[in-house]
Structure 1
Amino acid sequence: MTAPADPIDSAAPETGPSLVFEQKAAPHSWLDDVVGLATGTFTVSLGLFLLHLSTAVTGGTAGLSLLLNYAVSWPFWALFAVVNLPFGILAVWKRGWDFALRTLVCIGAVSGFSVLIEHFFVVERIDPIFGTVAGNLLAGIGLLIVFRHGASLGGVNVVALIIQDATGIRVGWTMMVFDVLVILLALLVVPWPNVLLSAAGAVVLNLVLALNHRPGRYIGH
């Protein structure tokens, strides 16, 4: 007697479970990129806002901008733009004009969204542990979206992507090394309990990137 066909084996080819990984990668449309980059930069801005409320820092040039904001009177949005501008030259040199222009737009978008969020999202109190962890998680998710739409937020993001292209070392690991340096510098202007929270939060951010942004992980481009 013939055994009944396995329901998975007998499924129509177009519904086969492995086709998700076998089909040709579909490029993003311009609308995909616009919506994706807007979503990513807004998510990063919201995460940085929570970090600022918690008097915490994170890694990369975003963390460096927060750190400078605690030490000087410049607003965060201005510091973020100024700190990241020099890396635009590196982006053009190593990854081309398309990537560089998208990156500059994203830097401007984060600065702009930061002003809007600060104006419209008024928070009287936030638990620093929640703010630090949630802020880094949101920033990591936002960066992941930005990377997957062919851009970055400048600074260490550009360097980390170049290293990944050349060596295969994941973006998250490169950024984590720089993050340690930024967080150690935070000891100069931020109370040490906040620095410890910042270190834990930076691990959260970089794990999001290290586990999700690597060669072969994403089939779209």
Structure 2
Amino acid sequence: MATGEVKTRFKGLLASSAERHSLVDDVQGVLAGSMLAAFGVLLLSGGKLLSGGTAGVAFLLHYMTEIGFGPIFFVLNLPFYYFAYRQLGAAFTIKTFSAVALTSFLTATLPRFISFSSLDPLIAGVFGGLLVGTGMLALFRHRASLGGFGILALYLQDRFGWRAGLVQLGFDGLVLVFSFFVATPFIIFCSVMGAVVLNLTLAINHRKDRYIAM
């Protein structure tokens, strides 16, 4: 391969515009979004809190079985990839699979390096929800998600114009109903606060008419 052709291909990896992300942009976005989400999950888990969507189901199973959140979260998302591929394309599916795998890995690994001697559940809910929401926002803006209900929420926004954050909030509410069987009212309240912060972060900041890059 000629040197000029190599340079052209390399520049293509870096080239981005107002309408389209470069490959490097997408890699950075998926890494950053996954890292933020994983740290948010670490806060939620440290506060013994719950969440919505597939993450909420993973938290419920984690507390009931003591199996790590990461492996459960990864397995729960497997059925959604076929839907993502059929409805949103191969690129979205690959980036989402990468984000879910990385987030699952980090949530299983970070507790070896980070621990909390004292963590108020309300603080854990608010800051954990903000971090996960910001991570999901980064992923959404690079045409990826954390799988599960997030795939469906993003599809419904693209298809019908429904706000992804509000759709996600509806799914989260259903999952949090089941938390009454495994948590105290105060823990549930803090979990709800985290879910509200997470989804308002998405609803306010993620709009197709404000961010058009693919």
Give the deviation of 1:220 after TM superposition.
2.7
Whether the 8 Å CA contact 2:130–2:198 is kept in 1: the answer is yes
User: How many angstroms apart in 1 are the aligned matches of 2:162 and 2:104?
Assistant: 29
Equivalent-residue separation in structure 1 for 2:162 and 2:117 (angstroms): 41
Indicate whether 1:27 and 2:17 are aligned: no
1:118 pairs, out of 104, 107, 111, with 111
Could you say which residue in structure 2 is the equivalent of 1:21?
none
Match of 2:29 among 32, 36, 55: 36
| Corresponding residue number in structure 2 for 1:192 | 185
The equivalent residue for 2:195 is 202
Residue 6 of structure 1 corresponds to none
Q: Distance in 2 between matches of 1:94 and 1:106?
A: 18
* Pairwise CA distance, 1:213: 0.8
Question: Does 1:90 find its partner at 2:83?
Answer: yes
- How many residues are treated as equivalent by the alignment? 198
Q: Which residue of 2 aligns with 1:217?
A: 210
Distance 1:85 1:60 in 2: 14
Unaligned runs of 5+ in 2: 1-16
The 1-side partners of 2:163 and 2:29 are apart by: 22
Separation of aligned partners in 2, 1:140 and 1:129? 16
Q: What is the aligned partner in structure 1 of residue 163 from structure 2?
A: 170
1:66-105 alignment, distance < 5 Å: 66-105=59-98
Rg comparison, structure with higher value: 1
Partner Cα distance (1:212, 1:126) in 2: 28
The TM-score, its normalising length taken from structure 2, stands at: 0.89
In the TM superposition, residue 199 of structure 1 has moved relative to its aligned partner by 1.0
- Provide structure 1 residue ranges, at least 5 long, that are not aligned to the other structure: 1-23
Q: Is the 8 A contact 2:68 2:108 kept in 1?
A: no
Out of 91-100 and 56-65, give the one that drifted further: 56-65
Give the structure 2 partner of residue 106 of structure 1.
Answer: 99
**Counterpart residue number, 2:3:** none
1:19-53 Cα deviation digits (max 9, x unpaired): xxxxx724211111111110100000000110001
1:193 maps to a residue whose letter is: F
Specify the alignment match of 1:130 in structure 2: 123
Among all aligned residue pairs of Structure 1 and Structure 2, give the percentage whose two residues are the same amino acid: 39
- CA RMSD, aligned part only? 1.1
Structure 1 consecutive aligned stretches of length 4 or more whose deviation exceeds 4 Å? none
